[in-house]
Structure 1
Amino acid sequence: MKMLHFAVLFALLFSSSSHAADFCVAKLKGAGTPAGYACRMPSNVTVDDFVFTGLGVAGNTTNIISAAVTPAFVQQFPGVNGLGLSIARLDLAPAGVIPMHTHPGASEILFVVQGKITAGFISSSANTVYVKTLKKGDVMVFPRGLLHFQINAAGINSIAVVSFSDPDPGLQITDFAFFANDLSSELLEKSTFLDDAQVKKLKKVLGGTG
């Protein structure tokens, strides 16, 4: 009787596990949703869907912020779809900065692999500021949705690896959100307490109109 019970239990466990999906490699041709992308058929999945090789190459930092982010999010790395994680490389040239920004969909962990980076975030409850200059080997966490930034604190290129708690963490850079759109200067002046000259200067630098 005991052997019969064991055989039945084993059959039930095997049956349930054989029907469970091990992964959901993203079908990127379809539209993404907050729940992720549709799954590709397992017969169309290869080992390359679970490998990303781009983080070994430095990003191009010849831009207005002297910084670059090389993402391995679901759009570049379909194997992370549905797994609740992703990763990226951060390159900061001397004087480079990742301006104040948020990731609406994920918390972030930053690991410094070269140079020094001053990083910080602002709490939403009391606007408390948490700032630290990180050296090689240091790690800092940024809670989901909070404003945060990173600035090169060394005279050399600084590099970090950042991981996120979502395959598609989202990104909104505050400066670009304010000044790289067509929101009227008058409304921006009233909502930011900046004067007309400052608003129009920032719109010109960041490509905004109005």
Structure 2
Amino acid sequence: MLIDAEGRLVALGLVNGHCNVPPTDDKPKVCKPAPQTVLSIFQPAGAKQADAEPLVVWGRTLPAFLAAMADSDDPARAADAQKIASVEYITGQPDVPGWRVEQVPPGFPASLHPLLVQTAEVNSTASAGKIVLPKGLAGQPMRTAYQRSQRNEPRLPDAEVTLRSYAGLGALVDTYRELAKGASPEEEGREVAFNGTDGAGRYSIRLRDAQETGVFITVASWKRK
């Protein structure tokens, strides 16, 4: 990470092999060979590539064991040493939503889509009592026995979406004061909850501050019966 004198993030560098996720779990991922390693630099919108030059210098400075390999008297060993073959610059897109409509589970009312803040990403979804996302857990019960014991839910939600946001908890509470008109925040243990109703039925919004890993936002819907 490249931080300026005021503690703000200027750019983030990632040394990687441009690995491709295999289509099935039984196949290994495919990455570029070590001599073709890529330095990916992530910058905020409007930043200049020159601002990240210290990261390029850092990326091209090999750790001691790789430097020794690159300086080996064995040509084959030296040729196999990891090195930065190319640098790519990736600019942030703050106006692009962090989630897609196709990630919303069946049964989640369109009227509640505005409660899914655009800057957050989908962490998990559930519908009809079963997990939908992540795919690795699809079909599992949406609540464990322990989770059910910790929540006052006479009936499971018909559908819910859990987002992860890196905005501060206070800022998100203010956001939901505006989005969830008429619903007041209530502290429930380590969570802040909003409960309200709309044309589709009843809904709840629960904000859980997980500190370094972000704030988890669960929007749940109970349809009118």
TM-score normalized by structure 2?
A: 0.26
TM-score normalized by structure 1?
A: 0.27
More strand by share: 2
Higher relative contact order (CA 8 A, sep 6+): 1
